[in-house]
Structure 1
Amino acid sequence: MGQAHELKHRMGNKTIKLVDAAGLPAAGKEVEIKQTNHAFLFGCGIFDAVDVANQNVPSDRLAFQEEKLDLFLDVFNSATLPFYWGRFEPEKGKPLTKELQAAARWLKERNVAVKGHPLCWHTVTAPWLLEMSNEEILQAQFARIEREVTDFKGLIDTWDVINEVVIMPIFDQYDNGITRISQDLGRVGIIKEMFAKTREHNPDATLLLNDFNTSINYEILIDGCLNAGVKIDAIGIQSHQHQGYWGREKLEEVLDRFSHFGLPIHFTENTLTSGHLMPPEIVDLNDYEPSHWPSTPEFEERQAKEAEEMYSILFQHPLVQAITTWSFSDDGSWLGAPAGFIRKDNSPKPAYKVLKKRIKGDWSTHLTVKSDDNGVISFEGFLGEYDLVCDGEKVSFTIEQEAETDQLILR
């Protein structure tokens, strides 16, 4: 009863009137109602979709990647694809547009919502920008946004517009074109420019500001953007926990601080390892390069408990709309960390099984009911997409926040 109350905002009431082909009430019909997709976005970074959609790997590797994606599709409904400029367009004028379009299309055909990450970032950016003046870099960045947002409209309508701006102007690991223009424009200035350009070419897109910095500096930056008239559709919060799980207290503290903006919150890049923790003295996670970072049974159990608690806390929070785990698999995971839900051989870890039970079981609606004398059925279900099956016929509908009545015709 407690959980049902805590998740009330994730549910909606639905009334359906069943009629036959002649328009008469279909009374006393046994009806199966099954949720087929969630309104909430349960996602992963799933860059493997590029290989599978383009079939550009050896057949044995392709079969392995397809098996991996089958496991992903069995639980998750949201995917992030890579648009790092330095990899997307390593040679100026030769972007990997067709390859990424194929991946986005492959996912969309399987009812997966797709997000592009990122349109502007100082890391993994195009090295050839350094040959340009700052004004030329800015124009190239604008052209890049126009091209990607236009080419992918309808396939990708959610973007991490600009990434990690808190550190962007003071980033000193190496010279890059984006840090140069962020120093010219300032943090709020570059965000305003990039959001305006993205909005211009896809007015209906969902646009995120994304950062790993969850300190007051990010709050101040968001506040500055909103005061400058930047329309942020969702606040992106990265939660790479290679050095240990945040825990309930920090999670709730972060949620509380970023909730005061009243904007939707997306946990965009989440990491929980099933191996040893990165030493606490490491400041830049990229600096940790162990020769071996195994996933172990003991730590897999820890990961499962942490994932279950974290997902439960976030799913209960009314402003959170999405959770994306950054590495679905240990195979090719970021920094080589054993942070996936499946192992390098595609075998599911306990965390995968726990989340599948939650997402497809506890947090899904599947029931059998009978229509009354007027052909009416009423029920409450988790928000999302549904199939209704009666006498072998299947009809689709959705449950949204507002209570509503649909009339479905049984042929």
Structure 2
Amino acid sequence: MSVTHREPVSSPAARDGRLAHRSGETVLTVRTPDGRPLAGAEVLVEQRRHAFTFGCIGFDFIPHANGEGPGERTGSFFGRAAPHEGVEQLAADWFELFNTTTLPFYWGEFEPVRGRPDTERLLRTARWFAERGAAVKGHPLTWHTATPGWLLELTDEEVLAALRARIRREVTAFAGVVDTWDAVNEAVIMPDYDKQDNGITRLSRSLGRVATVRAAFEEARAANPGATLLLNDFNLSPDYERLVQECLEAGVRIDALGLQSHMHKGYWGEERTLEVLERFARFGLPLHLTENTLVSGDLMPASVGDLNDHQVPSWPSTPEGEQRQADELARHYRTLWSHPAVQAVNYWGLSDAGAWLGAPVGLVRADGTRKPSYEALHGLVKGEWWLPPTTTATDEQGRVAVRGSLGGYAVCAAGATAAFAIPAPGASTADATLTTAP
């Protein structure tokens, strides 16, 4: 039968010309299993995945992914509690919002006894996420904090050899499951760090920042040539810009720049956020906002220097703080979504349970109930920036135009399904062959 022309299937965000870098339009030809265009047929089009990286740490789920119950090993990597009650609902909330997780590879906790790394436990966790459709990132391979005490017994040359061996071991063992790594974390302060003695600070003083970064990137690259390797830092001053420039001039191949934004003292605001993004976008590398937090309670005093120095017995979430967090979270994600250099955003903790510093930064309360911030982010990720299931019809050539956020989609007809993608901004064409005859 003849089908009249229809407007493209379209999401709200795809109609905003200011966000053209986040969306595209594909003219899709739907085909039967024998290759014939499916003409004049009713089809359902729906989005399945964002191309943009919406991430959140997955530390909370390590015990659950390993089948550990209450009273067993809790595995509180870097202070994260391991909730047992309500973990299934917490996991459902996690996968409803996020498509990428970050898992902890803090060397001191991963290998407290030399030669006895926690590889299998982290590998089971990584696979648990991957089997549910999430990409997995490792954090970090090289850092001066949370290092094993046994490094202090080694010479600088031995520390470097141990670091190279550690990087080679982890990147090799997790290849194919964890293919993105913070190769070096917080190198700006690394040689100047004076909170505690550690082998990595001593090594970086001996080698220098650039040589330390080079060694880590070279070893990780050799172990997995296809890996995405980040240089990550909280110091977003010109010191970090200079380090990036020096590393690039020294031939270090950096795949993306990690920018931390723990906003325990208060929301940066759009102006400051855009200023930071512009300064680091000049290097022509993708920007990953690796560590994002916003507080839903009292803010940390502005006078605090190192965030770790703010220790309070209780830091509750409040109704007023929760509404502020929701409003600021939406503004923050909108700002990051608007900038074409930003490729990934990772939130630092879904739940308040066991949050870093005890701060109420989660999108879910410690009792498992969602805060307004969860609903605010959901309204963007699965609302404004998402194509809802839409019924339309193909034309006489079996075509239908789909306009939406970059990512993975599916077309369904009479119980048969085919996958397709909107891979890049602008216009494209694609074929989708249904898996069974309609």
* TM-score normalized by the length of structure 2: 0.91
Which of 29, 38, 42 does residue 30 from structure 1 map onto? Answer: 42
Which of 188, 192, 203 does residue 214 from structure 2 map onto? Answer: 192
Q: CA separation in 1, counterparts of 2:49 and 2:180?
A: 18
Q: CA separation in 1, counterparts of 2:406 and 2:314?
A: 43
Q: Which amino acid aligns with 2:407?
A: G
Which of 323, 328, 344 does residue 366 from structure 2 map onto? Answer: 344
Match of 1:55 in 2: 67
Alpha-carbon distance, 1:404 to partner: 3.2
Match of 2:157 in 1: 135
Instruction: Report if aligned partners of 1:19, 1:26 keep a CA contact under 8 Å in 2.
Output: yes
Q: Which amino acid aligns with 1:312?
A: R
DSSP-derived class of the 2:320 partner: helix
Q: Which amino acid aligns with 2:164?
A: F
Return 5+ residue gaps in structure 1 as ranges: none
Which of 16, 35, 41 does residue 28 from structure 2 map onto? Answer: 16
Q: Which amino acid aligns with 2:106?
A: Y
Instruction: Report if aligned partners of 2:420, 2:431 keep a CA contact under 8 Å in 1.
Output: no
Match of 2:292 in 1: 270
Q: CA separation in 2, counterparts of 1:248 and 1:273?
A: 17
DSSP-derived class of the 1:101 partner: helix
DSSP-derived class of the 2:16 partner: helix
Bigger Cα displacement from structure 2, 397-406 vs 240-249: 397-406
Q: CA separation in 1, counterparts of 2:345 and 2:196?
A: 31
Alignment of 1:7 onto 2:30: no
Return 5+ residue gaps in structure 2 as ranges: 1-11, 72-81
Match of 1:154 in 2: 176
Match of 2:79 in 1: none
Which of 422, 431, 434 does residue 399 from structure 1 map onto? Answer: 422
Instruction: Report if aligned partners of 2:60, 2:83 keep a CA contact under 8 Å in 1.
Output: no
**Cα distance change on mapping 1:6 and 1:64 into 2, 3 Å:** same
Match of 1:175 in 2: 197
**Cα distance change on mapping 1:129 and 1:381 into 2, 3 Å:** same
Q: CA separation in 2, counterparts of 1:195 and 1:242?
A: 31
* TM-score normalized by the length of structure 1: 0.97
Instruction: Report if aligned partners of 1:49, 1:107 keep a CA contact under 8 Å in 2.
Output: no
**Cα distance change on mapping 1:61 and 1:183 into 2, 3 Å:** closer
Alpha-carbon distance, 1:21 to partner: 3.6
Equivalent residues in 2 for 1:190-269 (5 A)?
190-269=212-291
Alignment of 1:303 onto 2:325: yes
Alignment of 1:380 onto 2:403: yes
The root-mean-square deviation of aligned C-alpha atoms, in Å, is 1.5
Instruction: Report if aligned partners of 1:55, 1:62 keep a CA contact under 8 Å in 2.
Output: no
Q: Which amino acid aligns with 1:138?
A: L
Instruction: Report if aligned partners of 2:83, 2:353 keep a CA contact under 8 Å in 1.
Output: no
Alpha-carbon distance, 1:52 to partner: 1.3
Match of 2:304 in 1: 282
Match of 1:291 in 2: 313
DSSP-derived class of the 1:300 partner: helix
Alpha-carbon distance, 1:24 to partner: 2.7
| 1:173-214, Cα deviation, whole Å (9 max, x unpaired) | 111000011011111111111101100011111100000001
Instruction: Report if aligned partners of 1:13, 1:378 keep a CA contact under 8 Å in 2.
Output: yes
Bigger Cα displacement from structure 2, 401-410 vs 75-84: 401-410
Instruction: Report if aligned partners of 1:161, 1:194 keep a CA contact under 8 Å in 2.
Output: yes
Q: CA separation in 2, counterparts of 1:253 and 1:21?
A: 51
**Cα distance change on mapping 1:21 and 1:141 into 2, 3 Å:** closer
Equivalent residues in 2 for 1:294-373 (5 A)?
294-366=316-388, 367-373=390-396
Instruction: Report if aligned partners of 1:208, 1:235 keep a CA contact under 8 Å in 2.
Output: yes
Alpha-carbon distance, 1:169 to partner: 0.3
* Superposed structure 1 runs of 4+ greater than 3 Å apart: 59-63
Equivalent residues, number: 411
